[in-house]
């Protein structure tokens, strides 16, 4: 198995670019199924999730052609497919293909996605929205079977501004007859990017990025070439890598407006942050101060940055409080950070972090993607060597994280080791 070995104590300095966004690429790789002509996605991150999703499209008859970070998908010959339960469980957004496939094929069967280590993650808003659009949906034997002679426009209200449900229903509505409105829609940048992509294929959509989205269905979709924007969660992670090591890190080629929550909280903690139209630079020259964080739907503080931020605050002066409001159990990083010397009390979804002066290297295990990123950050700032196991989680969201961190002066290596016999 591979582990990441991190020798801590080096300040990260320099300028980097990040890859295209995982979550945008995954949303686009559901929506491509809507189009009968080939579509080219540029700047697609070469991570395990995008490969698996592309493979899943092939199971439904799509032709998929990678050329570096460009991916051309031809869904002209789409047909019924029977993906395994493992593949839908492995990447949750596989399930978000249900609507686009249904709109194209009239019927589709997909395994239920199931929960994961950060929470139960039900799909009730997705199912209810598709039903309002005329789908008949049954869940039997762990599989959803959906049928619809035609998909029609509907007025949909989401109980919570779910990013996935907004993206799924907005995409499906493009092939519906009539107008669909989605109220209490998610306002995440990933929703805006998806709407840009759908419009590039000929869809008519208004309001993406606000709480009310209107889709005028039934337009003819055509080929397009679309560049996946930079990954805002990677941006936040690497800015925090600069902050935790009291370094000086700039991330270029990004949309700074997507970093507002992270930037403001870093400033509140005492970091110096400069923004230009395409760059954010974070400099820290003294110990950060404790702050309070509450995760919220966009434009609130992103849940996906909560764990890396927790790692950063373990070394801040004073007591920080982080409240996770999106997921029930996004706290797998906590016991591992404690192994490294952090002083954290968990109470339900709240972490109370009493800042310590030093962390020390240890063998730690990533419980999920962002927990893994948090442990890498802690390792960069710790005394001695940290070994992070379960690198496959980190690989789901960061293309070769060791290269990016090394480019900034971190001492990070991927090393093959014998699997441990007893956990
Ligand atoms: N929810 C429901 N019912 C639904 C849908 C969602 O109760 O039908 C709940 C979820 O259980 C959760 C909340 O609503 O408590 C928000 O979930 P959302 O649907 O917004 O999440 P998602 O679309 O499944 C995407 C990202 C996540 C990110 C969230 C929130 C992708 C592939 N995943 O998930 O990214 O945390 O939005 O911004 O786009 C990550 O990258 O590490 C990651 C987990």
- Interval 167-197: pLDDT, tens: 999 999 999 999 999 999 999 999 999 999 9
Give pLDDT < 50 ranges for the chain.
none
Instruction: Give the residue whose CA is nearest to atom 18 of ligand 1.
Output: 162
Check if 330 has its Cβ closer than 6 Å to any atom of ligand 1.
Answer: no
Ligand 1 nearest-atom number relative to CA 123 = 8
Catalytic residue numbers, as ranges: 116
Ligand 1 nearest-atom number relative to CA 118 = 44
User: 172 Cβ partners below 8 Å, 6+ apart?
Assistant: 99, 100, 102, 103, 129, 130, 133, 151
Check if 160 has its Cβ closer than 6 Å to any atom of ligand 1.
Answer: yes
Main-chain dihedrals φ then ψ at residue 92, nearest 5 degrees? -55, -35
Check if 93 has its Cβ closer than 6 Å to any atom of ligand 1.
Answer: yes
Distance (Å, whole) CA 18 – CA 233? 10
The predicted-structure confidence for 303-361, as pLDDT tens digits, reads as follows 999 999 999 999 999 999 999 999 998 999 999 999 999 999 999 999 999 999 999 99
**Full 3-state SS string of 197-209:** HHHHCCCEEECEC
Q: How far is the CA of 121 from the centre of ligand 1 (A)?
A: 7
pLDDT at position 85 is 85
Q: How far is the CA of 119 from the centre of ligand 1 (A)?
A: 10
Q: How far is the CA of 189 from the centre of ligand 1 (A)?
A: 14
Q: What is the CA radius of gyration of the chain?
A: 21
Residue 282 gets the label, from left (phi > 0), alpha (psi -120 to 50) or beta, of beta
The predicted-structure confidence for 221-237, as pLDDT tens digits, reads as follows 999 999 999 999 999 99
Q: How far is the CA of 411 from the centre of ligand 1 (A)?
A: 33
Question: pTM for this structure?
Answer: 0.96
């Amino acid at each position: 198995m591979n582990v990441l070995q991190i020798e801590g104590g080096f300040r990260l300095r320099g300028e980097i670019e990040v890859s295209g966004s995982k979550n945008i690429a995954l949303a686009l790789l559901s929506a491509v199924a809507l189009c009968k002509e080939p579509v080219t996605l540029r700047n697609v991150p070469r991570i395990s999730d995008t490969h698996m999703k592309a493979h899943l499209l092939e199971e439904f008859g799509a032709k998929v052609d990678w050329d570096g970070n460009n991916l051309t998908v031809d869904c002209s010959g789409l047909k019924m497919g029977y993906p395994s339960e493992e593949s839908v469980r492995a990447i949750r957004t596989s399930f978000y293909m249900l609507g686009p496939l249904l709109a194209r094929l009239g019927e589709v069967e997909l395994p239920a996605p199931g929960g994961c280590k950060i929470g139960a993650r039900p799909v009730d808003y997705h199912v209810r929205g598709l039903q309002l659009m005329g789908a008949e949906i049954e869940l039997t034997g762990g599989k959803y079977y959906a049928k619809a002679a035609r998909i029609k426009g509907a007025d949909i209200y989401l109980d919570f501004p779910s990013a996935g449900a907004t993206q799924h229903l907005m995409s499906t509505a493009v092939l519906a007859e009539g107008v669909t409105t989605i109220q209490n829609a998610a306002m995440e940048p990933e929703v805006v990017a998806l709407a840009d992509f759908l419009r590039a294929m000929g869809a008519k959509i208004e309001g993406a990025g606000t709480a009310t989205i209107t889709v005028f269905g039934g337009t003819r979709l055509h080929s397009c070439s679309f560049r996946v924007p930079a990954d805002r969660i990677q941006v936040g992670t690497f800015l925090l890598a600069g902050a935790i090591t009291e370094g000086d890190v700039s991330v270029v080629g990004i949309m700074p407006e997507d970093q507002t929550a992270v930037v403001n909280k870093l400033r509140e903690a005492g970091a110096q942050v400069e923004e230009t139209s395409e760059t954010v630079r974070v400099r820290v020259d003294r110990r950060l101060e404790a702050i309070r964080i509450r995760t919220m739907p966009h434009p609130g503080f992103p849940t996906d940055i909560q764990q890396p931020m927790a790692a950063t605050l373990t070394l801040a002066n004073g007591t920080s409080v982080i409240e996770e409001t999106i997921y029930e159990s996004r706290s797998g990083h906590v016991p591992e950070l404690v192994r490294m010397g952090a002083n954290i009390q968990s109470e339900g979804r709240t972490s109370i972090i009493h800042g310590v002066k030093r962390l020390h290297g240890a063998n730690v295990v990533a419980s999920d993607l962002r927990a893994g990123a948090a442990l890498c950050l802690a390792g960069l700032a710790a005394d001695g060597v940290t070994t992070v196991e379960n690198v496959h989680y980190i690989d789901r969201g960061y293309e070769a994280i060791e290269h990016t961190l090394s480019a900034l002066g971190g001492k990070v290596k991927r090393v093959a080791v014998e699997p441990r016999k007893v956990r």
